[in-house]
Structure 1
Amino acid sequence: MSKLMVVNQENDTRIPFLRGMLVKSLQEAGLEFVDAYNVASDLRDDLDDSDEVTTDELRERITEILIEDHPGTVPKQYRKEGIFRENLIVVGGGGSKDPFSRGLHVQRLESCSIASAQCISITRKVHSHLIRNKIREITSRQLTSLTYSVIRKEVDQQHADYYLIWRDFLKNSYPLLLFIGGVPGSGKSTIATEVANRLGIVRTQSTDMLREVMRIMIPEKLSPSLHSSSFKAGKAMHIPELYNNADDHLFYGFQMQSEMVEVACEAVVQRALNENVSMIVEGVHIRPSLLDRLLGRIESSEAVVVPICLAVLNKKRLIRFIKGRFSENKQRRAKRYLENIDAILQLQTMLLSEADNQDIEIIDNKKVADTTLDIINIIIQTIAAKYKDRIAALRKQYGGNNIHEQ
């Protein structure tokens, strides 16, 4: 199937036919998702032999299908709204032209510690403003200015500033290094994935994976703690007489394991710094000692570093999380974790004490959505604090564009 291009003769643009975007538009005209999907699919099949179609021709064909298959208010609503209005074009700083994506716009707002429902509302108002004022082409700078204005009205000045700071942060390609520590079952990988999706970070690393690689390279006889779970490492090795109780054994074994894994962590973080890319590293081995090892490299870069210690302070909730983890992936062997739940809780106490002593943010993970928003809020506040001297210039740059007053 060839790529069908949609030609807008009015503003001399050509964009691919995007069935998903048409489905959303048809839903706004009153169709249920299944019906909207079928209309978009039928239209694409009808145009299978075509290489391009004009927006006027496309509207006529859509209207014909709607009148035939869905008579009533839907065709009228479609004509009234001008449903193929996704033809809005955003012109980048280098002259590139891309369709305005409401999904991408929402995602960028979610990066600024704005609740999802508000993000959707803000994007809808921005999009409606452009349609209402018949703006078919807008520069990325004008779009930023318009969005900033809407956030000020719909949320507050602080979040509007966050939006400008985050956009400036991305524009300058500064790397963000997010470290998420916590015991097994605390939800580190789930939260890391959610934050990565919200912020558009493509590089994530688990310390468990690094440990697996090291296990292949280093025999168990040379490093028994490396080949054990974090909460059982002390049982796998000879413990000096100085460490004479169970808690000491747990701490000593985990300490030995962590020191080895930190070497691999240091290498992947250094690679991210060399390439100037953002990265999320999560795992039980994220501790202040790792941050100390990286301190010199981080200080010499433009990177923003955000360490987080994830906790589950309620034992029953931690057990529930572990059981849920097991139901999603049977290979994780939740039974082994549940049998060692007291050791895991002791390990968590150690990690929390270390984090508290170093003023690292501790978040009690109760709900994924809330925890994700908390972390994004910490990230944007950290960035805002580091680049606070930029905010006045950014307000002047984007607050004076009068496109939002049209």
Structure 2
Amino acid sequence: MTERRYLAPLPLGGDDDPPWSKGLMSRALAATGLTVTRSYELARRADADMTERGTDRLDLDRLAELASEVLGEAEGGRTMRRLRRLHALRQLDVPIILLVGGATGTGKSTIATEAAHRLGITRVTSTDFIRQTMRAFFSPAFMPSVHFSSFDAGLALTKAEEEEAGDARLLGFLDQTRNVLVGVDAAIDRSLAEGWSMVLEGVHLVPGMVDVHRGSAIVVQCLVAIEDEDLHRSHFWVRDYATEGLRPLERYIDAMPEIRLIQNALIERAHRFDVPVIMNATLDQAMGEVLDLVLSTAERLARVTA
């Protein structure tokens, strides 16, 4: 068995914790949202400090002093608050289900993958993957909506459905979402039945339509969005370059009105159902907010179960 169900404990050394490890502590610090470079810099300083003091154990209070020294008081304090929350999360020993929603091109897959890496979660999947699987089982005649992209799912509606009520683009997207969420619920149920943590991302994680009340896990849902349309559009240029044109750029640029329409609808629903909205201006800022959500949720659960 190569996967871990829960997060590894902090390598603080001594008799009660795993042996001190500069590499593992650097990874734990990265889970607080600190950059990899800064994480390693602080872990290296802590390693030198332990050598100077002739000890094999790191105290969190001493690490807090070193964090202020290396990172500055503000960043050091923020890092240690998050690290203590991370320590509480590890002690809960329960699986984490992190749901990262957002419209096409908002960076949700990058954020989800990075969050999983920092939290030590090995299971990451997307609602697009679930939708693609459903396409193999259900013909266009039987379930037309899953055979379209989220932003053009309105094309799957019949004329009567288009004329019934509302915007056809949103109606088509929500119809597709209802179908895909059947697979999403099954994936979450399987993960919880086996006791594994998982990160799930996708446009179909619509606030108010996903069951987040799972007593046997920490379930955190958030919505990633981009306020500035030009910045949003630039994400497709970056993705086009990174994937060497695997997904046609022009198609997404032409669909920006539909994509922005869906984003606005998702944000409105997020406010209505108290789902945090993370404006993705920079990856470091967005990652910090996502990790804060996970860690603060764990902290509240720890207080309840204490």
Normalising to structure 1: TM-score of the pair? 0.65
> Are 2:302 and 1:383 equivalent residues in the alignment?
no
- Deviation digits for residues 47-83 of structure 1 (CA, Å, limit 9, x no counterpart): xxxxxxxxxxxxxxxxxxxxxxxxxxxxxxxxxxxxx
Moved over 6 A (4+): none
Taking a change above 3 Å as real, the CA distance of residues 93 and 319 of structure 1, as seen in their structure-2 partners, is same
Match of residue 353, structure 1, among 236, 243, 268: 268
Alignment partner of 1:280: what SS? strand
Aligned-residue offset at 1:332: 1.6
Summarize the Cα distance change of 1:320–1:150 in structure 2 as closer, same or farther, 3 Å threshold.
same
Offset at residue 132 of structure 1 (A)? 1.2
SS of residue in 1 equivalent to 2:113: helix
Q: What is the alpha-carbon root mean square deviation over aligned residues?
A: 2.7
SS of corresponding position for 1:240: helix
Summarize the Cα distance change of 1:355–1:128 in structure 2 as closer, same or farther, 3 Å threshold. same
> Which residue is 1:150 aligned to?
63
| Count of equivalent residues | 288
Matched, 1:326 2:245: no
* Among 84, 87, 98, the residue aligned to 1:178: 98
Residues 89 and 299, structure 2, Cα contact 8 Å, conserved in 1:
no
> Greater shift after overlay, 100-109 or 271-280?
100-109
Correspondence 1:60-209 to 2 at 5 A: 90=13, 100-114=20-34, 119-135=39-55, 138=56, 142-143=57-58, 146-151=59-64, 154=68, 155=73, 160=80, 162-209=82-129
Residues 152 and 169 in structure 2, CA contact (< 8 A), matched pair in contact too: yes
Out of 169, 193, 203, the residue aligned to residue 274 of structure 1 is 193
Cα displacement (A) at 1:175: 1.1
Identical aligned residues as a percent: 26
- 1:271-350 equivalences under 5 Å are 271-292=190-211, 294-295=212-213, 298-299=214-215, 301=216, 303-329=217-243, 330-350=245-265
Partner of 1:372: 287
Q: Could you tell me how far apart the structure 1 residues matched to 2:305 and 2:50 are?
A: 29
User: Compared with structure 1, are the counterparts of its residues 164 and 318 closer, same or farther at alpha carbon in structure 2 (3 Å cutoff)?
Assistant: closer
Q: Deviations over 1:278-321 (max 9, x none)?
A: 111000000124423x53xx03x1x1111111111111111100
Q: 1:182–1:188: 8 Å Cα contact kept in structure 2?
A: yes
Q: Aligned to 2:149, what secondary structure does the other structure show?
A: coil
Q: Tell me: CA distance 1:229–1:269, structure 2 relative to 1, closer, same or farther (3 Å).
A: same
Alpha-carbon shift at residue 92 of structure 1 (Å): 7.2
- 2: distance between equivalents of 1:123 and 1:390? 31
Shift of 1:152: 5.3
Q: Distance in 1 between matches of 2:250 and 2:162?
A: 32
Alignment of 1:204-219 (within 5 A): 204-219=124-139
Larger Rg: 1
Higher relative contact order (CA 8 A, sep 6+): 2
Give the Cα–Cα distance (whole angstroms) in 2 for the partners of residues 119 and 390 of structure 1.
31
Query: Which of 184, 206, 211 is 1:265 aligned to?
Result: 184
Note the 1:35-74 alignment, pairs <5 A.
none
Q: CA contact under 8 A between 2:106 and 2:224: conserved in structure 1?
A: yes
Q: Separation in 2 of the partners of 1:253 and 1:233?
A: 5
With over 3 angstroms needed to count, the CA separation of the structure-2 counterparts of 1:123 and 1:257, relative to structure 1, is same
Superposed displacement of residue 162, structure 1: 3.9
Deviation for aligned residue 1:252: 1.1
Corresponding residue of 1:398: none
- Give ranges in structure 2 of 5+ residues lacking alignment: 1-10
- 1:344-385 superposed Cα distances (whole Å, 9 cap, x missing partner): 111111111111101111111111122111211222122122
Deviation at 1:210, TM superposition (A): 0.4
Structure 1: gaps (5+ residues): 1-87, 392-406
What secondary structure does 1:360 align onto?
coil
Cα deviation, residue 116, structure 1 = 5.2
